[in-house]
A and B are shown apart, each in its own frame.
Chain A
Amino acid sequence: MRRSVIVVLLVLSACGSGQLAGQDLPDLPPITGEELAITLAESGRPAVVNIWASWCNPCRSEAPLLTAAHDAYGDQIDFIGVDVQDNQADAKNFISEFGLDFTHYFDRDRSVPEFYGGFGTPITFFFDGTGTLVDTHLGVIDERALALGIDEIVDR
Chain B
Amino acid sequence: MEFTLLWAALTGVAGLWLGVRFWARDDSDSLFDNLLLAAGVGLLGGRVTAMVAQGLNPFTNIGDLIIVRGGVSTVAATVFAIGAFYLSGGRKTKVLDMAAPAALLGLAGWHLGCLWRGACLGTASNLPWAWSEAGSHITRHPVEIYAALGMVLGAWLVSRLPRHTGIRTGTALGVAAAVRLATEPFRLSITGGPVEWYSAGIVLGLAAAAFSAARSRSRT
Contact = CB atoms under 8 A, between A and B. Distances in A.
A, B in one complex: yes
B196 interface: no
Given A58-B70, A60-B64, A145-B119, A13 B188 contact: no
B147 to A, nearest CB: 12
Contacts, number: 100
Contacts of B60: 13, 16-17
Main SS of chain B's interface residues? loop
Interface of A: 9, 12-13, 15-18, 57-58, 60-62, 64-65, 68-69, 72-73, 98, 134-135, 138-148, 150-152, 155
Per DSSP, are chain A's interface residues mostly helix, strand or loop, or mixed?
helix
Interface in B28-61: 51-52, 54-61
Given A12-B57, A13-B59, A152 B136 contact: yes
Interface of B: 1-2, 51-52, 54-61, 63-64, 67, 69-71, 119, 121, 123-124, 133, 135-136, 138, 187-191
A138 B64 CA distance: 17
A139 B188 contact: no
Contact of A18 (B55, B71, B188, B189): B55
Given A16-B51, A60-B64, A135-B133, A142 B59 contact: no
B124 A155 contact: yes
B145 to A, nearest CB: 14
Nearest to A120: B1
B121 A148 contact: yes
B56, B119, B138, most chain A CB atoms within 10 A: B56
Contact of A139 (B2, B63, B64): B2
B64 A152 contact: no
Contacts of B189: 143-144, 147
Contacts of B55: 15-18, 64, 98
